[in-house]
Structure 1
Amino acid sequence: MSTAQMLSETLKQQIRDAQQKLKSALPNYHNRPGQNKLIAQMANIVAGHYHRHDRIGLIEAGTGTGKSLAYLLATVPIALARQKKLVIATATVALQEQLVNKDIPFFRQHSGIEFEYNLVKGRSRYACIERLKQQLIQPDLLTSSERNHFTVLETLQQAWQQRSWLGDRDTLPLAVDEALWHSISADPYHCSKHDKRHQQCPFHLARAEVNDAQVLVVNHSLLLADLAAGNAILPPPEDCIYVIDEAHHLPACGRDYFAAFAQLSQPHVWLDKLGQLAHQLIQTLPESSLKDLLKLDDYRNELLGLLKPIERSLTEWQSRWFPETSQTEYRFEHAALPALWQKQAEPIASCAQKTLGVLDKISSAMGEVALTPGKQKNQSKLLQELSLLAQKLEQQHGLWHLYAQPQKEPAYQARWVAKDEHGQLTAHACPLSVAQSLEHMLFSQAYASILCSATLTVLNSFEHIKFELGLHEHPGLQTLRVDSPFAYQQNGVILLPKMQHDPTANAYTDELIAILPDYLSQHQGTLVLFASYWQMQQVAQALRAKGFSLLVQGEASRQSLLSLHRQNCQHDKTSILFGTQSFSEGLDLPGKLLTNLIITKLPFAVPTSPLEAAMSEAVTRKGGNPFVQLAIPATARKLVQACGRLLRQEQDQGRIVILDRRLVTKSYGKAMLDTLPPFRRQIEY
């Protein structure tokens, strides 16, 4: 092995020196052997110590191990030395903000390592200042509801001019509703970098900063979108060291990104608008664009001709798909489409793509036209229409491209149609796995990849996540688990009370209502997690009738509920939060904000969605057991995440009450219990 592919003594010393400086800057710091292990293993993987080319690691780091600082220490010096970009991808906005506002600035200030960093966000998170100006110059373009927001737009323009607003959605100086934001946000049609008027727009200024930064923070969706687009924003994977934090979210995020949907009903409505647009543009664009405008109209007619038979077929199929008026979804078993759809899929996808290509040329031509203020008014309307129609075309291309892919046995897509309240039908497609896509676009190409999370293993094994991410064939793959340094035995207890009913029983909700008051301690911060929104509401209504004061998810914003909870706890008042699955992850309630965690039942997902049903079908067709292979691993991971809410700092204390006896009565129960942190256990019999 070449020494160039290993961690040099110079780099080792730089990492040690930086760590020593960070220790000195951290208040109440004490040595963490787990963090040292993380740093050493990550650095060795990235440096090529284990394999010259296949530098990849799956790292599970428990709460309190100092994971963020560990991966910065392990990767920043190597990225700088080898002139690679460090791309940190997270799943949640909360972790992005923590990295950009706290962890990275602290690291840069105290490590003695000089580098630039940047938060990279999607285009729609930025305003287009030209769009904003057009609405202010031409107030007659605004609808009556938007006129009410005229002062908001003026405030935004002033804030941008004074640079007190960065021009993005996350630093807005005042509340802006969804419709108004959409009317000023950047998109490729309104905010083209080829148009000089837009070169100083927030989006293009932000993108220019990407080239100057050595560390880039993105979310999983933007990373996937950029890889699929051929690295439009980030450097090619071979020039990047990736740290993918919260990596257990990556498979689901990938499925969401590579999924597609498109409306099937009434295609003539929006395609007629496309024809009208082409006619209007003849008046605006130079003669050199006439050929493209004629092509646009030809392709529009061709696409309408391809979609019309699909629309007519809906009449025949709809009564079979939706025999009950309450039914809103129909899944194609084994992804088998009607024969006509299979025949039309490839031509529709191809025609939609050709039409998009011409629209892109026309959009560029519009940006080059010098306009008088009078014509700017008309162009703004045309661009708005162009953007909406391009979105429709992208949806049609995405859907029929997936539908054109032949499905072997078992199928690797979920395909279904959904009906809205107006009877309009939308078709959907979603891959069951993104392992092959991730392997092809990312893992086989990257200079190095570190995937980390507090919950990567399932039932104490990395096999499930390896399968989901497509990492079984990587000769250099390294895995590491570092347990939390918290004193779980001393600081916490898991209590399984004696109960009469399993959660599957009809009487379980009534038993919950009867037993819960015994575990809602006074003057404590309590979080009660439910697997069902309906059940949470039933229990909340009954307990309020008994005199309990509750903070219930959905009755106010998450931020408002948590703010009230903090106020109660800080004044030593009883505070009881009720929440569902979204409260079991990413919720940080340290100290006395949470000392009493109640999990009403194991968070098994009901496989009612078309995607979950298709995944179960595929496992069954391969001779597997969907409950064992899908439901149990997913539930075990969610349970670990839920229990991770209790101890957030080393000095925290409390108890977890689990009101689900299946942990002791079912064969899978012991394995699930053994995946939880090593709290003391009290099981009542």
Structure 2
Amino acid sequence: MLSDQIKSQIRTIHGRIKDSLPNYQPRAGQNQLVAEIAKIVSGSYHRHERIGLIEAGTGTGKSLAYMLGVIPYALAQKKKVVIATATVALQEQLVNKDLPFFQLHSKLLFEFSLVKGRARYACIERLRQQQRHPELFASANTAATDWQGLLDSWANRYWLGDKDSLNITLDEQSWQQIVADPLHCHKADRRHLNCPFHLARAEVEHADVLVVNHALLLADLASGNSVLPKPADCIYVIDEAHHLPDSAREFFAAQAQLSHNSQWLEKGGKTLQQLIQLLPATVMKDLIRLQDSCNELQSLLKPVERCIEEFKPRWFSDKTEYRFSDAALPKLLQQQAEPLAQASQKALQQLEKVQQQLQEHSSEQSLSSKQSLALLQELSYLYQKLEQQQNLWQLYAQPQDKTVQQARWVALHSTSQYVIAHATPLGVAGKLAQLLFDDAFAVVLCSATLTALNSFNYIKYDLGLTQFDGVQTLQVASPFAYAEKGQILLPKMQAEPTEARFTDELARVLPQYLPDNQASLVLFASYWQMQQVAEQLRAKGFSLLVQGEASRQALLQLHSENCQHGRSSILFGTQSFSEGLDLPGKLLTNLVITKLPFAVPTSPLEEALAEAISKKGGNAFVQLTIPATAKKLVQACGRLLRQEQDEGRIVILDRRLVTKTYGSAMLNALPPFRRQIDY
């Protein structure tokens, strides 16, 4: 329970923060957030299931609220705080601004650290080898790279050794030559002790607050907590939590090539032959076992490749993707799945032993650094390929007869013509419950858009929280005076957005809703429609900033300059401009949404999700499409007011909000702007 001492401490810290913020405005919503979060994590509502789902509108100050509600209690209980975000932008804001501010003014003694995946760090030893032996890695990209300059920057701490603080432009191929992968950059080798990755991991042990992204959190939970403390010792704050189900689907998905596998397997065989000649007899048994496992894998993949060649003309006659309906694989693939999963797993385990032996002999300098580096490079490539096969066949081996739990499809690579197989879980509720919610000390999930149609039921189902009695839900409205500051206008439109004539009507009607000397953002549901309308408006003399015609940053810079000089500025964008785009004050006063953001179920995953709902007697449009669209519409409308003093208007040119039965529910889920409906 929350002791009086902790309550008093939270109030004192809140007071200090109020005093230190210029022009501080008291917010009842933020006070409510702090109190409820503190009650949830302290077990005031449920002793064992300390889980909260919190939707906090724009401007409620939720970052400060969860720091106040969680950190004092966590320090008193000797629990680690893990804050997980979906975007790099929020991570940077927390680490560079919010946490330092809270640390300074709370006067609490705690350390915080940004925890990034291994692939974000360089291996300094690999970097040195690049500089010493450029002939091993020479390519058009890497030959021109100033490796010595990077080494000097690391030595002088101008560069922190990670991808995000690079002071030169480095393409992905060059980065992969120096990345701290587990095969090259091993802590057991003394040369790697001071590599950026291992130094960063050492900080984790001493930090009280750890900031991660959703992918790293999921990877750590799935690996049995190799980086973060075990869940029972953590209070998790999952920010941008509406992204967590999709992040989990992506993490637990797999893909691997089904054709042309002999190329990488034969290349791996040549590397093993080299190792047999170079390494001592004591390693021979492991090398021969690995070679046998690779040969077994190759023999199991051969009939799969023959099967693929037979099916290719049928699968890819008029498209580059083919989905297996009900996740039913061709008979041969289904038969081979379990043996392939086992063979690739065995090969991976044996490869790890061989890699360890190679590391030991290279550190003892029985092999030259040049030799060991080249061999480790080859083993790293082999490991990646084996891991892809193992992940894919493990998913394909899972029976899907009674209930379909996966989307399975194959795709034809546009240039290489390789056939790539995919598997993605339809739901991740069970995984999240098992890995996170069952064992965590406490979990607070928050976002500006967690509900769909004003209900938490959809996100509860997606996250696997329907079985937990202790889940607390809370909606805290934005402090913005929506009715005073903004208006939603629904002009009368003649055409349905599904009709062909809608695009021409848009181009004809839009000029009436693009006022002079104002900042407008026009959101479209498709690139094609955006380009068609832009072409017609430019013919009428409109100056437009259109997504895709320049980088996002360049467009926003031009938009900002127009607004600073009091000129009209019209941004045209699609779905990616409706979330995470911050245009405060005069940078946005007129938002036009041309069409409800219904996602067309064209991806194999979306098709499989809709198919699974229909098979159970449900309605995919009602259960899947409408809630998802309602949430996207709320996010789009959230672009208008970003600060309390902002004001403006939202124009929605989609008559379905009035003519369809679901329209009123979508409208009622929007912030309480004044409404003008011209129907």
Counterpart mapping for 1:460-609 below 5 A: 460-609=454-603
Contact 1:194/1:364 (<8 A) preserved: no
Answering whether residue 158 of structure 2 is matched by residue 164 of structure 1, we say yes
Residue 324 (structure 2) aligns with: 332
Answering whether residue 175 of structure 2 is matched by residue 181 of structure 1, we say yes
* 3-state secondary structure, aligned to 1:633: helix
AA in 2 matched with 1:402: L
Q: Deviations over 1:618-658 (max 9, x none)?
A: 10011100000000000000000000010000000011111
Contact 1:21/1:112 (<8 A) preserved: no
Separation in 1 of the partners of 2:41 and 2:258?
48
Separation in 1 of the partners of 2:344 and 2:509?
59
Q: Deviations over 1:9-39 (max 9, x none)?
A: 0100110100000000111112111111111
Separation in 1 of the partners of 2:518 and 2:187?
55
Separation in 1 of the partners of 2:364 and 2:441?
47
Residue 322 (structure 1) aligns with: 316
Residue 373 of structure 1: how far off its partner (Å): 11
Residue 341 (structure 1) aligns with: 333
Separation in 1 of the partners of 2:661 and 2:402?
32
* 3-state secondary structure, aligned to 1:65: coil
Separation in 1 of the partners of 2:244 and 2:278?
45
* 3-state secondary structure, aligned to 2:157: coil
Counterpart mapping for 1:297-446 below 5 A: 297-324=291-318, 327-369=319-361, 370=363, 375-421=368-414, 422-446=416-440
Residue 122 (structure 1) aligns with: 117
Residue 133 (structure 1) aligns with: 128
Separation in 2 of the partners of 1:68 and 1:320?
53
Q: Deviations over 1:304-359 (max 9, x none)?
A: 011111001012222222232xx111111111111111111011011111111111
Residue 147 of structure 1: how far off its partner (Å): 4.9
Residue 194 (structure 1) aligns with: 188
AA in 2 matched with 1:365: Q
Q: Deviations over 1:596-635 (max 9, x none)?
A: 1111100000001110011001100111000000000000
AA in 1 matched with 2:471: L
**TM-score normalised to the size of structure 1?**
0.97
Separation in 2 of the partners of 1:181 and 1:530?
36
Residue 3 (structure 1) aligns with: none
Unmatched runs of 5 consecutive residues or more in structure 1: 1-5
Separation in 2 of the partners of 1:168 and 1:561?
28
Instruction: Choose the corresponding residue for 1:668, options 653, 659, 662.
Output: 662
* 3-state secondary structure, aligned to 1:494: strand
Counterpart mapping for 1:211-290 below 5 A: 211-290=205-284
Separation in 2 of the partners of 1:203 and 1:551?
41
Residue 469 of structure 1: how far off its partner (Å): 0.6
Contact 2:142/2:174 (<8 A) preserved: no
AA in 2 matched with 1:627: F
Residue 290 of structure 1: how far off its partner (Å): 1.0
Answering whether residue 82 of structure 2 is matched by residue 90 of structure 1, we say no
Please say which of residues 527-536 and 374-383 is displaced more in the overlay: 374-383
Separation in 1 of the partners of 2:344 and 2:367?
33
* 3-state secondary structure, aligned to 1:554: coil
Answering whether residue 52 of structure 2 is matched by residue 36 of structure 1, we say no
AA in 2 matched with 1:579: G
Residue 374 of structure 1: how far off its partner (Å): 8.3
Separation in 1 of the partners of 2:126 and 2:561?
42
Separation in 2 of the partners of 1:454 and 1:175?
35
Separation in 2 of the partners of 1:426 and 1:286?
38
Instruction: Choose the corresponding residue for 1:108, options 103, 110, 134.
Output: 103
Separation in 1 of the partners of 2:505 and 2:65?
46
Please say which of residues 173-182 and 243-252 is displaced more in the overlay: 173-182
AA in 2 matched with 1:413: Q
Unmatched runs of 5 consecutive residues or more in structure 2: none
* 3-state secondary structure, aligned to 2:356: helix
Answering whether residue 614 of structure 2 is matched by residue 620 of structure 1, we say yes
* 3-state secondary structure, aligned to 2:206: coil
* 3-state secondary structure, aligned to 2:407: strand
Residue 76 (structure 1) aligns with: 71
* 3-state secondary structure, aligned to 2:99: helix
AA in 1 matched with 2:338: E
AA in 1 matched with 2:129: Q
* 3-state secondary structure, aligned to 2:229: coil
Contact 2:215/2:248 (<8 A) preserved: yes
Separation in 2 of the partners of 1:579 and 1:530?
6
Separation in 2 of the partners of 1:128 and 1:522?
54
Residue 148 of structure 1: how far off its partner (Å): 4.1
* 3-state secondary structure, aligned to 2:454: coil
* 3-state secondary structure, aligned to 2:9: helix
AA in 2 matched with 1:88: I
Q: Deviations over 1:106-126 (max 9, x none)?
A: 111111212100001011111
AA in 2 matched with 1:162: N
**TM-score normalised to the size of structure 2?**
0.98
Q: Deviations over 1:563-611 (max 9, x none)?
A: 2222221222222111111111111111011111111100000001110
Separation in 1 of the partners of 2:123 and 2:442?
35
Answering whether residue 633 of structure 2 is matched by residue 639 of structure 1, we say yes
Contact 1:64/1:486 (<8 A) preserved: yes
Please say which of residues 205-214 and 567-576 is displaced more in the overlay: 567-576
Q: Deviations over 1:354-391 (max 9, x none)?
A: 11111111111122124669822222221121111111
Please say which of residues 556-565 and 203-212 is displaced more in the overlay: 556-565
Separation in 1 of the partners of 2:267 and 2:124?
27
Contact 1:410/1:621 (<8 A) preserved: no
Contact 1:136/1:150 (<8 A) preserved: no
Shift >4 Å, 4+ stretches: 371-374
AA in 2 matched with 1:481: Q
* 3-state secondary structure, aligned to 1:7: coil
* 3-state secondary structure, aligned to 2:45: coil
Contact 1:457/1:464 (<8 A) preserved: yes
Contact 2:153/2:159 (<8 A) preserved: yes
AA in 2 matched with 1:529: L
